Amino acid sequence: MAEKTNKFAEGVKIGYIGFILFFAFIPLFIMVVVSFKSNDQFLQNPWFFDNPSTWKWENWGVAWDTVSGYIANSIFVSFTGTVVTLVIVLMCSYAIARFDFPGKNVIFYLVMATMFLPGTVAALVTLFDLLMNMGLVNSLWALVLMASVGGQVAGVFILRNFIEDIPKELFESTQIDGGGHYAQIRHIVLPLSGSIIAVTCIMDFLSSWNNVILPLLLLRDDELLTIPVGLFRLDGEYVKQYGELMAGYAISSIPLLIIFLFSMRFFVKGLAAGAVKG
Amino acid sequence: MSSVTINKLDKTYSPGKRDAFRAVKGIDLEIKDKEFMVLVGPSGCGKSTTLRMIAGLEEITGGTLKIGDRIVNDVAPKSRGIAMVFQNYALYPHMTVFDNMAFGLKLQRMPREEIKRRVDNAADILGLETMLDRKPKALSGGQRQRVAVGRAIVRQPEVFLFDEPLSNLDAKMRVQMRTEISKLHGRLDATMIYVTHDQVEAMTMGDRICVMKDGNIMQVDGPLNLYNKPQNMFVAGFIGSPPMNFFKGTIVKDGTGTSFLEESASGPGFSLKLDDRLIAASEKGSSQSVYLGVRPEDIEGASISDSAEIEAVIDVAEPMGAETFLYLKTPGGHDFIAKVQATHSFKLGERIHVRFDLARCHLFDSKTENVL
């Protein structure tokens, strides 16, 4: 671009971004810093690394021993929940976007309305009651169920608009070629809205991965706990071992980091696609 | 290959509701085997709806549709033996040209070698051999449309359906693709049904043309017959560019013979002596009130002494090179267009005399708007 850049405005912009990034990353940084400290070291200097020779690597060992048993549970719940959500989101938004049926708008608005209902915390008592009657208390399936029914709304909202924007001739030409609805979803919707779907999945995965309150409430047996609840086990009865706790948090965020690194491409593209698709 | 027979075909959107709309009003049409039939008409005339009903993309609300000897009203699109080319190409952006063309065949679980053979054959016909590995994004509009045609060819359908396939192309490309599709018709020897709103496409491509308006068929005929013998004012005005001029007036009989007297708007209307053919026609009318239709190309400059001459004033002159379009006004205050040889330059406001070629004039009933 030939347009002259205003140095001052650029500076303000970068400064602003830096400011936000700083506050976004400082807790993570401190988490890593503290994970190498004993409680004494933590109380003396919580802000930066000490001399590497005094690092307490044992914290990570203790944290791993505590958390490792729960990783599989967390992955199972988040993964299954996300897959079920994805299938429901796809079918629901495809149906709403492509078919005309009586009451279609009412159904869509009802689905949207659930976005404005109070979340898990407000409905906790009734939710617990419901799950208890379903015999799902102290079962990972309760979490899978909850993960599968919460995340669709935003997904349906975004994906419906996206599917409606796909030229209908693409679907019709598949129809003439003999493709049914499955083929239309598989060959048109999935490839064309891949980034949107990836974002929906990641959001969903994150929210069930980080969910504390439901597993805390529903799970009794130690071997069923998910990571966030399992981390409470590190929260000693009398003394808080900050170093071990922080190491545990760090370990529990590693899978998310891995997922993010692999899906960053989709993430950026998807957020942009939703915004400026023209 | 096979014929398409449409019998009392009817399409009503949201029937029985307040916003019910009857897009196609019980039309009959017989499209012969290996014929190139063009459906033409202004926007909203029902031509695309008709095509989509033939394709099976719209439900038929009345009448029957036969492809070959089979009634296909309730047959799924894939089993009708048709292939369709859409206006916006409908290519899958994430697939290569090869995969786009092969997609339908893959869905039919055709053996890989057969798919390759058919796609290569289609690519050969359309000159796409070097582009098979490209994505649609890397192709020009004309090439994309060729891929879309290729996708239809590989299915080896009995009937090809084209829904305004050239409308997205620029003018030059449109002319080129037009001839290519015509050649393709000769080469594939298939039944083709082609929808367009462009009368030039219709005239140049169709074996027969079906002119539609408001869900009704106005006339079905060969291109030259449509031009020379329009059945009604709509067809007469739709086919030909610039369109046919219509003058409203009355038939007057006096001692010297029968003549057409233009209805006056601002000044005295012109009077035109009719020849025997037009007199015979005028007697068929329900009243004395008629429309006289004359094409711009059937008007020529004349000298004052000519008995059939009409005086006119030049509003605008558009030199096109080989000929000049004159936008004229009669003394009666009506506008009309003449297409004359560009032998000399015309001045605006100039008063000239023109003569109508009576052998090529038409009279239309003012009530029914049908030809007399």
Mention every residue, 6+ apart, whose C-beta is less than 8 A from residue A36: A49, A50, A55, A56, A57, A59, A243
Please say if the pLDDT value at position A20 is more than 90: yes
For the domain that residue A136 is a member of, what is the CATH number? Answer: 1.10.3720.10
Burial, B321: exposed, middle or buried (Cβ in 10 Å; 0-12, 13-18, 19+)?
exposed
In a domain, A205, yes or no: yes
Q: Report the CATH fold assignment for B245-365.
A: OB fold (Dihydrolipoamide Acetyltransferase, E2P) (2.40.50)
The predicted-structure confidence for B321-347, as pLDDT tens digits, reads as follows 888 888 988 888 888 999 888 777 788
| Architecture of the domain defined by B4-238 | 3-Layer(aba) Sandwich (3.40)
Of chain A, the percentage scoring pLDDT greater than 70 comes to 91
pLDDT above 60 (res A2): no
Comparing alpha-carbon positions, the chain B residue that sits nearest to A172 is B57
CA–CA separation, B204 and B196 (whole Å) = 12
**Contact partners, residue A144, CB within 8 Å, separation at least 6:** A76, A77, A80, A81, A84
ipTM entry: 0.80
Q: Write down the pLDDT at residue A219.
A: 84
Place B174 in a pLDDT band, splitting at 50, 70 and 90.
confident
**Cα separation of B308 and B128, whole Å?**
58
Average pLDDT, chain B: 87
| Residue closest to B368 by CA, chosen among B278, B290, B294, B295 | B290
Query: From CA B170, how far away is CA B192, in angstroms rounded?
Result: 23
Count the Cβ atoms, other than its own, within 10 Å of residue B52: 21
Q: Is A1 contained in some domain?
A: no
CATH 2.40.50.140 residue ranges for chain B: 245-365
- Give the DSSP letter of residue A278: -
What is the rounded average pLDDT for all residues in chain A?
A: 82
For residue B101, give the amino acid letter. M
Distance (Å, whole) CA A272 – CA A189: 18
Express the helix, strand and coil content of chain A in percent, nearest 5 each: 80, 0, 20
For A50-59, A190-199, B80-89, B268-277, which range has the lowest pLDDT when averaged over its residues?
A: A50-59
Nearest CB to A173; choose among B86, B93, B94? B86
Q: Is the pLDDT of residue A120 over 90?
A: no
CA distance to B256, B272, B372, per residue, from B278 (Å): 15, 11, 9
Interface of A with B (CB under 8 A): 167, 169-170, 172-179, 183, 187-188, 191-192
CB contact under 8 A, B57 and A175: yes
pLDDT value at residue B224: 92
Whole-angstrom distance, CA of residue A254 vs CA of residue A227: 12
**Chain A nearest CA to B368, separation (Å):** 39
Q: Which domain holds residue A69?
A: 7-276
Domains held by chain A: number:
1
Distance from CA of B215 to the nearest CA of A (A): 23
- A219-240 average pLDDT score: 78
Q: What is the dihedral of CA B222, B228, B231, B234, to 10 degrees?
A: 100
Buried b (16+ CB within 10 A) or exposed e, A200-231: bbbbbbbbbbebeebbebbbeeeebbbbbbbb
**Residue B47 and residue B39 in contact, taking contact as beta carbons nearer than 8 Å:** yes
Which helix (H) or strand (E) element contains residue B84? Answer: strand B82-85
Q: Where are the alpha helices (DSSP H) in A180-241?
A: 181-184, 190-192, 194-209, 213-218, 227-230
Please give the average per-residue pLDDT across B347-358, as a whole number: 85
The answer to whether residue A2 sits within a structural domain is: no
pLDDT per residue over B189-239, tens digit each? 889 999 999 888 899 999 999 999 999 999 999 999 999 999 999 999 998
The more confidently predicted of residues A151 and B19 is B19
A159 located within any domain: yes
Angle at B22 (CA atoms; ends A95, B59), nearest 5 degrees: 40
CA–CA distance from B15 to each of B33, B48, B61 (Å)? Answer: 33, 19, 9
Which regions of chain B carry the CATH code 3.40.50.300? 4-238
**Closest approach of A172 to chain B, Cα-based (Å):** 7
What is the C-alpha to C-alpha distance for residues A74 and A254, in angstroms, rounded to an integer?
13
Using CB atoms, pick whichever of B56, B93, B107 lies closest to residue A179. Answer: B107
Alpha-carbon torsion, ordered B192, B193, B198, B199, to 10 deg: 80
- The answer to whether the CB of B6 falls within 8 A of the CB of B191 is no
Contact B46, B214 (CB under 8 A): yes
- Cβ-Cβ contacts under 8 Å, B93 against chain A: 192
B20-58 pLDDT tens trace: 888 888 889 999 999 999 999 998 888 999 999 999 888
The strand pair at B70-71 and B62-67 is best described as antiparallel
Closest CA to B95 of B45, B31, B144, B44: B144
Distance from chain centroid for Cα B318: 25
The pLDDT of residue B305 is 58
Dist. CA B337–CA B298, nearest whole Å: 10
Chain A residues close to B92, C-beta within 8 Å: 170, 187-188, 191
Give A92's contacts (C-beta < 8 A, 6+ positions apart): A111, A152, A156
Quote the percentage of chain B above a pLDDT of 90.
Answer: 24
Whole-model pTM? 0.80
Give pLDDT, residue A277. Answer: 33
Say if residues B325 and B366 touch (Cβ distance below 8 Å): no
